Structure 1
Amino acid sequence: MTGTGVTRRILLSTGGLALAGLSLSGCENRDAIELDLADVTGFSVFDRATAAILLDVADLMIPRTDTPGAGDTGTVLYLDQLMDHWASAASRAEILGFPAQLDGHARQSVGRAFRSLSRQARFRLLESMDQASFAEGERHGFAAAYRKLKRLIFHIHYTSEAANPDYVAVPGQYLGDVSATEFQALVDDARF
């Protein structure tokens, strides 16, 4: 994925999965794997610690089962590219600030840094955050950052070719800002 731009597929596909409020329940079915910074490479926006935490969060949300997990689809690497090429400054700051907020939440909730928790404890922490952040009335701050990150992770993962066996590339070309005359010419030529 490195070096590729944001595709029409990402821009045009819907965020229905995120809006459906997918739950983390039942996702914990792998052996404990502690965070490892040695495997964190290839990122242009995320530093090693941020990438490691986001990789872990994505893997906890969408683990590998009999289908590819978020780690298999390069979800966080693609998220890094979105932060570099697509995201607004506010979105970039929100996503980049999430790991520190997550660590603060872990320290407040269980008295330890997120990275020092066992995989099962990290999963339980995310599960409780998921329930709280999607509760009625939670519309700002840490809950909003978590919801945005979760929407992006699920959207990127489930629109990837690896996670979607029925993958069909979006046909055609993107024309962007066309005038009314150019639009009408496309309609008349039946190319639109």
Structure 2
Amino acid sequence: MSGAKNGWNRREFTAGAALLALALGIPAAGVKLTDLDAADLPSDRQRRLIADVSDLVIPRTDTPGARDVGVGDFVVLALAHGLSGTGAPMASETITAAVAPFRRRNGSLRHLPWLEHRLDRAAGGDFLRHDLAERTRLLAALDAEAFAQGAPPSPWTALKGLILTGYYTSEAGGSQELRYELVPGKWEWDIPLQPGMRAFSSDWTAVDFG
């Protein structure tokens, strides 16, 4: 089964591929656009879902949102490449009844089918049919559960990390949402913080979030 048969094409994947190349530190030409394994191809609905969820995490404000820069497709490609350990077999202590049905034969997790099932179940049906306020509420509940102190490991933490990585390695995320200054620039040992000051893109690691 090829990407073309599922509606995927090179032009649609270009934004996600460019972001993935930046995150991996390789030329964009080295990222496969349509040659994904059949098991890694999302359904059209899963692709819409991750684009929508990404935009709920980082909506458009005075700067572009996650949907605007192609973060949803970045997440699809990042998962296919196993970025941030998403392609590794799950540790035995993280396997629960809720995630077990979504494991591959090699023990790794199919993150997008899991997310689709998790959000649809929370929505009592079709998550995408709800209005923006309700989708935001449902995702916020999942986020709060995943990041609660003492909570068991959740696949959402990896997905959210990829959404943030995709956005903040984009031009908009790295130079508009964050404050960009060309390195080496100049050394300033003490910079007073002002209200509304943006974080520096050179100081962002996608490690601390939640």
- Pairwise TM-score range, normalised by the shorter structure: 0.5 to 0.7
Greater than 6 Å deviation, 4+ residue runs: none
Partner of 1:164, secondary structure, is helix
Alignment of 1:100-119 (within 5 A): 100-107=117-124, 112-119=125-132
Residue 167 of structure 2 corresponds to 157
TM-score normalised by structure 1 residue count: 0.59
Which residue does the alignment assign to 2:93?
Answer: none
Is the contact made by 1:51 and 1:76 (CA closer than 8 Å) also made in structure 2?
yes
Q: Residues of 1 paired with 2:19 and 2:145: CA distance?
A: 34
Contact 2:51 2:67 (8 Å CA) reproduced = yes
Stretches of structure 1 lacking an aligned partner (at least 5 in a row): 13-41, 170-192
The answer on 1:54 being equivalent to 2:50 is yes
Q: Which residue of 136, 153, 158 maps to 2:149?
A: 136
Equivalent AA in structure 1 for residue 133 of structure 2: Q
Structure 1 residues 64 and 5: alpha-carbon distance in aligned structure 2, compared to 1, 3 A threshold: closer
Equivalent residues in 2 for 1:29-68 (5 A)? 45-68=41-64
Contact 1:134 1:147 in 2 (8 A): yes
Instruction: Return 5+ residue gaps in structure 2 as ranges.
Output: 1-12, 26-33, 90-107, 184-210
Q: Report how many aligned residue pairs link the two structures.
A: 132
1:66 counterpart SS class: coil
Q: Give TM-score scaled by structure 2 length.
A: 0.54
Distance 2:140 2:19 in 1: 32
Q: Give the 3 Å change call, closer, same or farther, for CA 59–155 of structure 1 in structure 2.
A: same
Look at both structures and tell me which one has the larger radius of gyration over its CA atoms.
Answer: 1
**Which of these residues, 74, 77, 92, is aligned with residue 73 of structure 2?**
77
- The structure with higher relative contact order (CA 8 Å, sep 6+) is 1
